């Protein structure tokens, strides 16, 4: 979705942990096909991926732990809505000067 929406130029650095989904040939081929450079955390070093770990913690505390989902589809929809409708557009981030990511990015252009 990000690749389709943003259409980044060649050389975009895609950082992930060492999960098998990110190491799979299909995933790495997709990245390569879009000119992306794959980067993985060093083994046993959680600080390489601290930003994403912080996001997962926020998602879990603000959405996941507060609800019970009846189906996988319900969970998928709730997570998508949280990220696209709240986290990126409304939620204030201290690291962005207490702006939402959308407001912060709008001021860059």
Q: How does pLDDT run across 35-90, given as a tens digit for each residue?
A: 999 888 777 766 667 777 888 899 999 999 999 999 999 999 999 999 999 999 99
3-state secondary structure of 75: helix
Taking alpha carbons only, the member of 55, 31, 8 closest to residue 40 is 31
pLDDT for 28 beyond 70: yes
Q: How far apart are CA 81 and CA 100, in angstroms?
A: 15
| CA dist., res. 3 & res. 22, Å (int) | 16
The answer to whether the predicted template modeling score (pTM) of the entire model surpasses 0.75 is no
Q: What is the pLDDT of residue 76?
A: 97
pLDDT score of 109: 66
Identify the CA nearest to 45 among candidates 15, 21, 23: 15
pLDDT for position 98: 95
**Residue 46's pLDDT is what?**
65
Instruction: Give start and end residues of each alpha helix (H) in 35-94.
Output: 50-62, 72-81
């Amino acid at each position: 979705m990000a690749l389709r929406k943003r259409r980044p130029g060649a050389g975009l650095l895609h950082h992930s942990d060492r999960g098998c989904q990110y190491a799979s040939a299909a995933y790495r081929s997709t990245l390569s096909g879009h000119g992306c450079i794959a980067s993985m955390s060093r083994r046993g070093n959680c600080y390489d991926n601290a930003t994403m770990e912080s996001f997962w913690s926020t998602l879990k505390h603000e959405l996941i732990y507060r609800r019970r989902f009846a189906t996988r589809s319900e969970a998928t929809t709730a997570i998508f809505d949280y990220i696209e409708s709240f986290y990126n557009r409304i939620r204030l981030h201290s690291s962005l000067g207490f702006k939402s990511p959308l407001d912060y990015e709008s001021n860059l252009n």
